[in-house]
């Protein structure tokens, strides 16, 4: 074991001060603790955000849902406001990992980590969410910057994510059977800013698909999505799935997500 110190602040101000001084934020530990065990991360100080009440909870603010960074996946999946306003988001949360992961994993940890096969980044991007941090607000379009990379600066904490309530949204993934991360995941949303389609699991990180967005803007139907050719050239291939297989999944899952969004 290597040495590190552990802080458990009770207020956002204290957490922000510790993080700004170099402490590593700890949310549910679902990625960070495993990384430490594997020696992929060796922080000198952990700042456990679990006691900071300001970071938890879900509230409606006008036409937005605001979800605290430390809100667990299980709470988002079961929350009556989320299920009523953005059922596709509650559904997404209910299919993350397994029961243990959903009981510990958090929205903020997932978004900060930006795993290239994670589910929430697709929802933030498709719904046009905004990430709130200790210093500023960042549109999802600007936040995700490729594999495990985000616009967050050292010492900056995510405090909440606000989701404008879409007219319709749905997320579907083809699960990697061992981890249940997305081999491919697609989130489609009809929003006041138009139709947005975000894809996760395809390679370097979550991305919007311009061709699908254009087709679904003309006609929000599975048939319109089926007409769009998906270029495998920009997708990754590995032992789980070739790039061509992933391209086909994007097409099929988009069609099914549109059907699901239409109810």
Ligand X SMILES: Cc1cc2nc3c(=O)[nH]c(=O)nc-3n(C[C@H](O)[C@H](O)[C@H](O)COP(=O)(O)OP(=O)(O)OC[C@H]3O[C@@H](n4cnc5c(N)ncnc54)[C@H](O)[C@@H]3O)c2cc1C
Question: Which residues make up the interface to ligand X (CB under 6 A)?
Answer: 24-32, 49, 69, 73, 96-97, 101, 104-106, 108-110, 112-113, 118-120, 157-158, 179-181
Q: Considering the complex, state which of residue 104 and residue 188 has its C-beta at the smaller distance from ligand X.
A: 104
Shortest CB 258 distance to ligand X, Å:
21
Residue closer to ligand X (CB basis): 148 or 220: 148
* Closest alpha carbon to 232 in 220, 218, 246: 246
In the complex, the smallest distance separating the C-beta of residue 48 from ligand X, rounded to whole angstroms, is: 9
Tokens for 61, please give them: 């603010």
In the bound state with ligand X, the residue whose beta carbon lies nearer, of 170 and 216, is 170
Report in angstroms how near the CB of residue 215 gets to ligand X at its nearest: 26
Q: For the CB of residue 167, give the shortest distance to ligand X in the complex, in Å.
A: 24
Q: Is the dihedral of CA 217, 219, 223, 228 positive or negative?
A: negative
* Kind of pairing between the strands at 45-48 and 168-175: unpaired
Closest approach, Cβ 14 to ligand X, in A, equals 14
Pairing of strands 45-48, 5-7: parallel
Residue nearest to ligand X (CB): 109
Using only C-alpha atoms, what is the Rg of the chain? 18
Give me the least distance between CB of 229 and ligand X, in Å please: 28
Which structure tokens are listed for 133? 């941090």
Q: Toward ligand X, which CB reaches closer, 56 or 168?
A: 56
Identify which of residues 83 and 180 has a Cβ nearer to ligand X in the complex. Answer: 180
Closest to ligand X by CB, 106 or 255: 106
Instruction: For tokens 């300001």, name the residue.
Output: 54
């Amino acid at each position: 074991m290597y040495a590190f110190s552990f802080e458990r602040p009770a207020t956002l101000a204290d957490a922000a001060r510790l993080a700004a001084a170099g402490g590593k934020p700890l949310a549910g530990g679902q990625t960070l603790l495993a990384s430490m065990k594997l020696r992929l991360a060796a922080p000198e100080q952990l700042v456990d955000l679990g006691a900071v009440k300001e970071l938890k909870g879900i509230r409606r603010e006008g036409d937005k849902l605001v979800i605290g960074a430390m809100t667990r996946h299980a709470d988002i999946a079961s929350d009556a406001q989320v299920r009523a306003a953005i059922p596709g988001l509650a559904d997404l949360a209910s299919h993350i990992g397994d029961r243990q992961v959903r009981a510990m994993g958090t929205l903020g940890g997932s978004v900060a980590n930006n795993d290239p096969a994670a589910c929430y980044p697709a929802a933030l991007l498709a719904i046009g969410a905004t990430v709130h941090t200790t210093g500023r607000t960042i549109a999802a379009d600007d936040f995700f910057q490729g594999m495990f990379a985000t616009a967050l600066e050292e010492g900056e904490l995510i405090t909440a994510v606000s989701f404008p309530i879409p007219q319709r949204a749905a997320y579907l993934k083809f699960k990697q059977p061992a981890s249940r991360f997305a081999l491919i995941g697609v989130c489609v949303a009809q929003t006041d800013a138009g139709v947005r389609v975000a894809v996760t699991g395809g390679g370097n990180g979550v991305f919007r698909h311009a061709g699908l967005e254009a087709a679904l803007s003309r006609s929000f139907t599975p048939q319109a999505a089926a007409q769009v050719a998906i270029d495998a050239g920009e997708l990754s291939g590995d032992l789980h799935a070739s790039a061509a297989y992933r391209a086909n999944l994007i097409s099929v899952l988009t069609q099914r997500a549109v059907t699901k969004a239409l109810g």
